[in-house]
Copies of this chain bind each other. A is one copy, B any other.
């Protein structure tokens, strides 16, 4: 299996769903433009792809889960828009394009983020259009459980909590405990939720859900460590965002605390642990295994 092709195919499913879902212009048009500007800015769709791969690992056809998986991209995109704001990370460039507030103004960017966050839950609770299994719908209890998982990963005990700590820790000396908390909450929590959501929708066993959780946590943590490394080593052109911005903003990062070599070693260790967590899964979990591996090698 060519994992790059696998990711590309699953990304195309998500992109097509997003395209359809936001094809009706809502009023006011500027809000709609601001939302679709960020959604179509070339994201890797890694969270929905992980959700689909986890669903497939549980023996189901990933096509069925596309609308649900896409909710994670709505949440991720809102978080980027808000994180880039002047009051937060103050970034001008994202995925090679001007950030949302640079184009639409701060007020509209805040509202576009709010709209995307809310829309994720509107989409998930839309029972009419979302019968995931055409033969017999996914149990409503599984959908509710997935909503809870998403809100947990995205909220004050997850991503928002991590971003708040990140904001509070700027200009402070890095310490291991705080850095671990930020990475765990800000990045790993939502990635973990997207993997678990695949299992929840497939109604997998509690034991398998635990394995998916461990896979998600380790993969998510590795993802952020690699992000930190790329910010030091990458080039703005390849990254699509300003390289060296962590250093400029005096962010607490893994390389700053442990150095580049140790950070690389740690990222590899985390990916190994992620793959190890999937031992009870058969070859249907190969996409999950290879995605973790692939995230380690990425250059942007």
Contact = CB atoms under 8 A, between A and B. Distances in A.
A181 B29 CA distance: 13
B156 A26 contact: yes
A35 interface: yes
A138 B160 CA distance: 30
A141 interface: yes
A147 interface: yes
A80 interface: no
Nearest to A139: B140
A30 B168 contact: yes
Given A88-B110, A111-B163, A121 B28 contact: no
Interface stretch (A112-120, A250-258, A278-286): A112-120
A154 interface: yes
Contact of A140 (B87, B115, B117, B144): B144
Interface residues of A, number: 53
B122 A167 contact: no
A245 to B, nearest CB: 16
Given A148-B125, A160-B114, A167-B107, A141 B141 contact: no
Give the one of A26, A126, A155 with max B CB within 10 A: A155
Contacts of A141: 127, 140
Contact of A121 (B32, B111, B121): B121
Nearest to A149: B125
A155 B74 CA distance: 13
Interface in A133-181: 140-141, 143-145, 147-148, 150-152, 154-157, 160-161, 163-165, 167-168, 181
B144 A125 contact: yes
B82 A114 contact: yes
A27 B161 contact: yes
Given A108-B167, A126-B148, A148-B126, A118 B31 contact: no
A140 B140 CA distance: 6
Give the one of A88, A117, A141 with max B CB within 10 A: A117
A122 B105 contact: no
A229 interface: no
Interface string A15-44: 000000000001110111001000000000
A224 B293 CA distance: 55
A14 interface: no
14 contacts: A31-B160, A31-B164, A78-B114, A82-B110, A85-B107, A118-B151, A118-B154, A122-B152, A125-B147, A126-B148, A127-B141, A127-B148, A140-B144, A143-B144
| A-B CB proximity, top 4 nearest | A87-B106, A122-B151, A118-B155, A125-B148
